[in-house]
Amino acid sequence: MDAELKAYYDNDPGFAQFVDRHGIVSATPEVRKAYRKWEYDLILDKLDEERRAAKFDAQLKESEAKGLAVGEAKGEAKGEAKRNMEIALIALSGVEQDRDISYVIDTLRKYNIPDDIIEAARKQAESAVNCDE
């Protein structure tokens, strides 16, 4: 034992009792076994915590990737709908130039422009013509 600790041991009966009993208890096989089990449990708990944290991080990254993909898909769909509307409006604006409206609508359908967009563009084109008159 260190000289300073030895002097403290000699002067403090509580510390001396602790050191003596610690030596006795730590020499007992059951106590050493329980201590090793405690250390092992600490290691397992730490590994489990790290595993859960890694799983959470992976789920978070996956969720972020899915969110970005959904957002991009929605953005592309809105952009496509807008382009389709512009195409339909341009095509339907030609109706006032003596083109047959059913021919224009059939042509737009051939280019896979949805009927709801064609109808909305037709109404918008009609209202634009009515406003001009």
pTM of the prediction?
Answer: 0.43
What are the b/e assignments for 36-54, b being 16+ CB within 10 Å?
Answer: eeeeeeeeeeeeeeeeeee
Instruction: Give phi and psi for 87, each to the nearest 5.
Output: -65, -45
Q: Encode pLDDT of 62-89 as tens digits.
A: 988 898 888 888 888 888 888 888 888 7
Query: With a cut of 70, which residues of the chain have pLDDT below it?
Result: 94-99, 128-133
